[in-house]
Structure 1
Amino acid sequence: MDNLITFCITVFTGFFAITNPISNMTVFVALTQGANKKTKDDINKRANIIAFIIVTVFVLLGKFIFELFNISIPAFKITGGILIFFIGFEMLQSKQSNVKSLKHVDVDENIAVSPLAIPILAGPGTIVTAMNFVANVEPIHIILVIAIFGLMSILAYITFRLSDNIVKLVGNNVISVIGKIMGLIIAIIGTGMIIQGIKLSFNLMS
């Protein structure tokens, strides 16, 4: 039971850092500027539902994808770790990650699919993180990962729904600091994945 609790905390922390709903709500505010409340809510719901479906598909089919492309778990962990570390490093440098770079988008419900669902909520970093959590684990862990990302989707929905009020209340500077903290956590997660991959490659796991 203790191992499952530790696993859940690790997964939640990883998802919270990589999806970063507090920082991403500023993107949501910018993309939906000028839209009425109903349109914003429709975009919010659709984006989070699509993101949840995408991550769930990759979580459930991750093993099949590994076998189809003959991807080893150590190679995946190392490559995924490098990608996640790079995203976290960019956030620490106050840069917007290339996987989330945005250009001007007209306000319509299509932005719920792109760029909100893909790549902001369910981008490469999120997918790699999710697949890493379910690599070589028991079915119960897979269920927990899906449930925890579902919880993250709900949190993102609530955060986006309250985005206008939150930005006015805390200010952009506080959100920027939170983004840097999340960047550090992401970089650490990426480093941990690389270390795990190297240990697996050389049979150094204790």
Structure 2
Amino acid sequence: MKALFDNYFAFATTVFMGLLAIVNPISAIPVFLELTSNMDLKGKRNIATKSVLIAFCIISIFSVAGKLIFHVFGITLAALRVTGGILVFVVGYEMVQGNTNKSENPKLGTQPIKADQGISVAVTPLAMPLLAGPGTIATAMSYSAAKDLIHMGIVIAVYAIICYGTYLLFIGGQRIVKVIGSNVMMVITKMMGLILAVIGVQLFALGVRELLNF
């Protein structure tokens, strides 16, 4: 029983580190603050809630339907790992180089945000691609498709924890930026990018090894 628990805990830790690095909610704080700068606290909470819920639904669907998608389109897990590894590495490399485009989204904070515009902001760019981009989807599918239902549940639960943490970061984003400063946020982003690039290489190498064994 202890060995089984240790196995689940190790898997959950690996999934958490992988998804946390690729989502990198801290680097999304400036984008959220900019897009909601003209809104009151209630409006910001509304947008934050919608964005994390939409992102969670996207990842949950792809995690649960991963094997079905593989079957329908004839995709192998090895091929997904190779592709996902490349995507994850590219995202991590851009984060390390400081070329991430997360800060290049439309500046909506300078004008009033209506209800319909608010849900649009929650979907894009907050939910997609910041919180549930292609790299996140590929990583979640790779982790969940390779294991049983318990491991799939762990992937979804871990991402739910990350989404909740992201919500808290969004709400307290203004204070966080003032406390740690933009330079520290940049350092954290680059560290996350390095971890992400390593994870991408590992996924790519594992996928190539599995493909060569076919």
TM-score, scaled to structure 1 = 0.94
Cα-to-partner distance string for 1:170-200 (whole Å, 9 max, x where unaligned): 1100000000000001101100101110111
Matching of residue 122 in structure 1 with residue 105 in structure 2: no
> What is the identity, as a one-letter code, of the residue corresponding to 1:159?
L
Paired with 2:40 and 2:70, the residues of 1 have a C-alpha distance of: 44
Paired with 1:97 and 1:71, the residues of 2 have a C-alpha distance of: 30
Q: What's the offset of the Cα at 1:22? A: 1.1
Matching of residue 5 in structure 1 with residue 9 in structure 2: yes
Q: Give secondary structure in 2 for the equivalent of 1:102.
A: coil
Paired with 1:203 and 1:101, the residues of 2 have a C-alpha distance of: 42
Q: In the TM superposition, what are the counterparts of 1:8-27 in structure 2 within 5 Å?
A: 8-27=12-31
Paired with 1:116 and 1:187, the residues of 2 have a C-alpha distance of: 22
- CA-based RMSD of the aligned residues comes to 1.5
For 1:157, the equivalent position in structure 2 comes to: 167
Q: What's the offset of the Cα at 1:203? A: 2.7
Cα-to-partner distance string for 1:60-114 (whole Å, 9 max, x where unaligned): 001111111111111111011001100000001011148x852334634120111
TM-score, scaled to structure 2 = 0.91
Paired with 2:14 and 2:149, the residues of 1 have a C-alpha distance of: 17
Kept after mapping to 1: 8 A contact 2:51/2:123: yes
Q: In the TM superposition, what are the counterparts of 1:41-56 in structure 2 within 5 Å?
A: 41-56=45-60
> What is the identity, as a one-letter code, of the residue corresponding to 2:45?
D
> What is the identity, as a one-letter code, of the residue corresponding to 2:106?
K
Structure 2: give runs of 5+ residues left out of the alignment: none
Paired with 1:101 and 1:152, the residues of 2 have a C-alpha distance of: 24
For 1:176, the equivalent position in structure 2 comes to: 186
Match of 1:104 among 102, 107, 111: 107
Q: What's the offset of the Cα at 1:3? A: 1.5
Q: What's the offset of the Cα at 1:19? A: 0.8
Matching of residue 28 in structure 1 with residue 38 in structure 2: no
Q: What's the offset of the Cα at 1:2? A: 1.6
